[in-house]
Amino acid sequence: MTDTDTPLAGLEVLDLSTMVSGGFTTVMLADFGAEVLSVEHPDYNDPVRDWSPDAGGDSFYWKNLGRNKKHISLDLSTEKGQELARSLAADVDIVVENFRPGTMERWNLGYDSLSERNESLVMVRLSGYGQTGPRATKPGFGTIAESLSTFSHINGFGESPPLSPPIPLADLTAGMFAVQGAMFALYARDNGGQSGQVIDVSLFEPLFRLMIGDVEAYDTNGVVPTRTGNRDVRSSPRNLYETADGYIALSASSQNIFENVMAGIGRSDLVDDPRFRTNADRVEHADAIDRVIGEWCREHSTDEAIAKMESAGAVVGPVYDIADTFADAQYQARDDMLSVPDEQLGDVATHAPVPKLSETPGEVRHLGGEHGQHNRAVYRERLGLTKEEYQQLRSEEVI
> Mind telling me the catalytic residues?
171
Contacts 24+ apart (CB under 8 A), 279-283: 279/235, 279/236, 279/253, 279/255, 282/235, 282/236, 282/237, 282/258, 283/233, 283/234, 283/235, 283/236
Cα 138 from Cα 97, distance rounded (Å): 16
Percentages of the chain per state (helix, strand, coil), in multiples of 5: 40, 15, 45
Alpha carbon distance 62, 47 (integer Å): 9
Report the distance separating Cα 189 and Cα 299, nearest Å.
Answer: 60
What is the rounded CA–CA span in Å between residue 182 and residue 95? 10
Local structure of 200: helix, strand or coil = strand
Region of residue 367 (phi > 0: left; psi between -120 and 50: alpha; otherwise: beta):
beta
Q: How far is CA 369 from the centre of its chain?
A: 20
Phi-psi sector, 266: left (phi>0), alpha (psi -120 to 50), beta? left
Please report which residue ranges of 58-164 form alpha helices under DSSP H.
Answer: 60-65, 79-89, 103-106, 111-117, 142-148, 151-154
Report yes or no: 316 and 310 within 8 Å, Cβ to Cβ.
yes
- Rounded to the nearest angstrom, the gap between the alpha carbon of residue 287 and the centroid of all alpha carbons in its chain is 34
Q: Return d(Cα 113, Cα 105) in angstroms, integer.
A: 8
- Identify which of 117, 103, 80 has the alpha carbon closest to the alpha carbon of residue 379: 80
